[in-house]
Amino acid sequence: MTPSLTDRFTVIDNSPTTPVILHAPHGSRFIPDELLPTYLVDENELDRERDLMTDHFTDEMVESAVAATGASAIVNRLSRFVVDVERFPDEREEMLAVGMGAFYTHGSQGQRIRASSVMTDPALREFFDAYSLAFTELVQRTVDAHGRAIIIDVHSYPTSPLPYEVHSHEPRPQLDIGADETHTPAELIDAVRSAFGELESGVNDSFHGTYVPLRFYDARDTRVQSVMLEIRRDVYMDEAAVTRNASGYEQLAKQLVRLVGYLQPKDSTTTTPGGNHD
């Protein structure tokens, strides 16, 4: 039985009033019951994989920032172990080498978790394409309204590297700022560092790049800006218990709201450090 696409991701479209789009692609643990038999590992191992690989509470953080700022957002409601909506759908994806392209065949330890046939499952590809199209259309509406779109791609990562990581030898700062040479201008990185100034940060450490829909990525369309926030999990949660640290989480939520405020239009009550980016 194939999964329905209904209610598997949420689009919050405030494009008439904001250039900012928040993105939470990996915050869900949800795998539809009808898909569970397609996994080659037992329920306990699959739960452990989700403990290790889910960007816990980032979906809630994004939704609270939307409520506070009026930004747009897209929030994925499926686990990355069903579909990873941020991967390249072709050979450009470096994570294919470890079985973690758009449709994972391997887990965090390098173990086989699904058959290779998952990579051609039409229902999963339909979801990937629908998600990509929804994101592309939201970005286009935002560019049409403001002459630009600014994507803030919200993730988290474990304190200690996992075996699947292809850049595990690199530093692991409290905040790894993912940047793209075309779509992440220096002033956007500066805004992130100002908003999250209490955190030790690095650029493209351990996790690299940031999400841009392919229509704009392939065209090198600089009207679309993007930055990835990879938050080290010990900053805001107990990784072993998979529970939130209330004070750490609330501080991060405030910092995310601050960043959105810096990037909102110049008639906003909050201005960007060093001048508005409008």
Question: Domain limits of the chain?
Answer: 9-263
Distance CA 259, CA 257 (A): 5
Query: Which residues make beta-bridge pairs with 178?
Result: 228
pLDDT at residue 275 greater than cutoff 90: no
36 alpha-carbon distance from chain centroid = 24
pLDDT at residue 5 greater than cutoff 60: no
Distance CA 57, CA 242 (A): 10
Q: What mean pLDDT comes out for the span 123-143?
A: 96
Distance CA 224, CA 136 (A): 11
Q: What mean pLDDT comes out for the span 43-56?
A: 97
Residue found under tokens 């998600």: 131
Q: Let me know: does 152 contact 20? Beta carbons within 8 Å.
A: yes
**Domain 9-263 -> CATH class:** alpha beta
Q: What mean pLDDT comes out for the span 124-145?
A: 96
pLDDT value of position 157: 97
Three-state secondary-structure class, residue 104 = coil
Give tens-digit pLDDT for 182-229: 999 999 999 999 999 999 999 999 899 999 999 999 999 999 999 999
Picking from 29, 59, 14, 273, the residue whose alpha carbon sits closest to that of residue 150 is: 14
> 12: part of which helix (H) or strand (E)?
strand 9-12
Using pLDDT thresholds of 50, 70 and 90, give the confidence band for residue 150: very high
